[in-house]
Chain A
Amino acid sequence: MTVAPTNADMSISKGPAGAPDKAPRKVNFDLKQSGIYIALALTIVIFTALTGGDLLAPQNLSNIIVQYSYILVLAIGMVLIIIAGHIDLSVGSVVAASGAFAAVMMVDWHVAWPIAVVATLVFGALVGAWQGYWVAYFGIPAFIVTLAGMLLFRAVTYRILGNQGIGPFPDDIRTLANGFTPGFLKNIALGPLGGADAFSVIVGLLVVVGMVVMQWRARAGRVKFAQSVDPMWLFLTKAILPAILVMFLVVQLARFRNLPWVLVLLAVLVFVYTLVTNRAVFGRQIYAVGGNLQAATLSGVKVKSVVFWLFVNMGVLSAVAGIIFAGRLNLAGPTAGNSFELDAIAAAFIGGAAVQGGVGKVVGAITGGLIMGVINNGAGLLGWQTETVMFVKGAVLLAAVAFDVWSKRRTAGGK
């Protein structure tokens, strides 16, 4: 404790005592956070080039989203848990267990699908509560609890299914997992691009306008409170680039078969969870717990309850993913969701979450997940071997975290 420089009653070498701190030049262009978007762009460019443009074809874009949606749903829950300084290895098994639970209710017992869906979400919540109890209140490291959960809930899956797949699912569930929004309006002609669903395009335009307006309002708010803001060119780039990308995606999808329902669901989840992490008291508490547990405790944050509810949340999202996955395959199988936890964890870390906790963003995790999704999909188009895909994904994960560590050391050195 007495590593001596603490007691400033000693003779202080003549320094700039009380002089204003050297104002570090605030660079709003956050390399770390932007790095991930650049990485996604690079991944897309590379695979577009390698596949001769097939990657961005309307049907393929739709495939990437539908095929990877459940990982993205899991990544949202996972990044929150990682921000709080924990981990969840059981999500793959919980996906399988909740898919099985839903299948038994809908297929074997013929329960109406809305009731079955709600019951499955409750099932996921209970699973999360079970793990949350052991982690938060009993004090077992999440790594152990969820490693056990990985086995426990896989076993539960086998028991529920009796070692065989159950299907087929009702049409509504299949539509949710695999289907598209119906064309409420007629197709419109987009010149050389051919016909596209007018409704989808309108929704896309609304979303894009919404995004830009929100960013503008945030900027205006900062200006009003005399906070520093990005220069106008950077702001416009940051606002318009994503807008163009979203619009491109929507138009491509509209040219194919309208918007996939899971994309709508994902968009809603991303919006809600981004809001929660940025603006809600609960969101703040997640960062506080992960950033400095003791300081959070001594600031009156009920840290145990925060961690508990994070695991409940993860359970619910796992159930969502479980329903989507089973509905997509039209079958709840005992091996469903194998190694999903690894993809979800990788997505969160590639997306900039810190292993020590306290850092991470929902949008980052989604971006990280998309990087993996594009790699998976592009590799599939190119007919790569499984081991090549694994190798590339492993290398990307390592590189992303190495970059994170490096950039942190660099900022620390510049103190």
Chain B
Amino acid sequence: MTDTILRMSGITKTFPGVKALQDVNLEVRRGEILAVCGENGAGKSTLMKVLSGVYPHGTYEGDIEFEGEPCSFAGIRDSEHRGIVIIHQELALASNLSIAENIFLGNERSKRGWINWNETNQAADELLRRVGLDEKAVTPVIQLGVGKQQLVEIAKALSKDVKLLILDEPTAALNDDDSEHLLNLLRGLRDQGITCVIISHKLNEVMGISDRVTILRDGKTIWTEDIDNLSEEKIIAGMVGRSLENRYPEHESTIGEEVLRIEDWTVHSPTQPDRALVRKANLTLRRGEIVGLAGLMGAGRTELAMSVFGRSYGVNISGRLIKDGKEIQARNVREAINHGIAYATEDRKRYGLNLIEDIKRNVSAAGLSKLAKGGWVDGNEERKVADEFRASMNIKAPSVESVVGKLSGGNQQKVVLSKWIFTDPDVLILDEPTRGIDVGAKYEIYTIINRLADEGKAILVISSELPELLGICDRIYTLSAGRITGEVDRAGATQESLMTLMTKEEQEVAP
């Protein structure tokens, strides 16, 4: 039976300056599991937000037809009313409430405004049995691990008589056992007639569970294919399938001696201290070399970088840092900076800048001691330094006293880079240095990165965009599920080969 439960046609969604979705078509058949695959930023989450009414009808173009009827959802309540439930990557449970309270949140089992707790808890127990979660309905959610919380989310969806269940990266934060359990559960639900759309980066999972696969790339649907006609390679080719354009400045690196070696680096999650986010990673950075770190979301890239940078993320960190041949300790950010390590964050607004301050105070923030004598800042010198950076980095602002929050993304990124360059580091870790900035500014950032390498700094670039890594790096490490799964020279790398390494599962890694 191939009766279509959902048809989205001609969906176009525009954000200021960016077309996130362009004429996307998606068809889901009743009782199947459809996987939607694509790189970070391909538009998968946006599409699901359009479907579930997070972006209400009228903010996008195109039509949605569910069970043969056109839909115009004004919000997530409307879509849930029709039986479309989305479970987001970041779980949305009220952690201090019980499982039962969470399941029936906003949908309480009540008469005239008074909750019937016995009925609530009984119904919750029933749902917990269906999803195979062996917990009492009155247990507070905060006591559950992420895997079990995921099951509570599914139970919550079932309580709403779900017809179409959408899961955004459901296993990204789960360990193998929990993932396996979840996938089995989804198969069971399919047999009960519930249709699933699953967004996943884990291709072996996609191959294992889905009936059909739809590929999104750059906000467009590329193709949809039955799983029987597919292989992981074909999916990868679909995900990356575009050519490198001339968007990267020419650069010949002069590579010198080793500057920083990261050995057996292991980092555990601060919320689940028994879960390793980075496992025994080994990396080497050399003078004048631009090294890339590729990995999909949740692979542990940022966790690796931030833990190296003065242990600013994670717990139970083990491993050795060897700088210029000597083992160093960088137990906090100050020590890391003093050892000549700098980290420019992927989220400049939250972690990188003081948006209510001006350019000069942001530029000096990490290297203020260089401008101070006896605890007093030399204001004139600070202004001079900021002005020099404004010129050399081409920060477009009327003066160094412009408030950073009002600059464009590209200029904000240049302020972040200036701040770290001013600390005069030997090692610069750049986490998504071009995220959210326009093409012109990207080119400028690449030029700056090249210049820094020419000055003899060792640079590690973390990026979700494979063409970017292939365009600017001399050597690329791949990270998958916290492990370094490969190290390739630019010459020998293609997007496909990188993607294969990035989706490689743990057991395939040679010990």
Contacts and interface: CB of A to CB of B under 8 A. Distances in A.
B393 interface: no
A11 interface: yes
A358 B361 CA distance: 12
A297 B312 contact: yes
A297 B435 CA distance: 22
A8 B436 contact: yes
Nearest to B15: A5
A359 B405 CA distance: 14
Contacts, number: 186
Given A12-B438, A13-B18, A415 B383 contact: no
B246 to A, nearest CB: 15
Contact of A11 (B19, B46, B352): B19
Contact of B354 (A19, A278, A295): A295
B376 interface: yes
Contacts of A395: none
Given A4-B20, A284-B368, A302 B334 contact: yes
A20 B368 contact: no
Given A4-B18, A24-B406, A299 B440 contact: no
A279 B379 contact: yes
* Chain A interface SS verdict (over half): loop
A298 interface: yes
Contacts of B37: none
A7 interface: yes
Contacts of A9: 41, 218, 465, 467
A17 interface: yes
Nearest to A357: B356
B439 interface: yes
Interface stretch (A48-56, A220-228, A317-325, A336-344): A220-228
A281 interface: yes
B46 A299 contact: no
B384 A2 contact: no
A5 B401 CA distance: 28
Contacts of A18: 410, 438-441, 443-444
Interface in B396-412: 396-402, 406-408, 410-411
B441 A6 contact: no
B380 interface: yes
Contact of A292 (B14, B46, B355): B355
B375 A282 contact: yes
B350 interface: yes
A33 interface: no
Contacts of A10: 18-20, 41, 43, 218-219
A7 B19 contact: no
Contacts of B337: 300
Given A26-B398, A300-B336, A302-B332, 7 more contacts: A2-B40, A4-B20, A6-B41, A9-B467, A18-B439, A287-B354, A300-B310
17 contacts: A5-B15, A5-B17, A5-B18, A10-B19, A13-B17, A17-B441, A23-B397, A221-B380, A228-B399, A228-B401, A279-B379, A281-B372, A287-B357, A287-B361, A291-B356, A295-B354, A298-B309
Top 4 nearest A-B pairs by Cβ distance? A18-B440, A7-B41, A4-B20, A291-B354
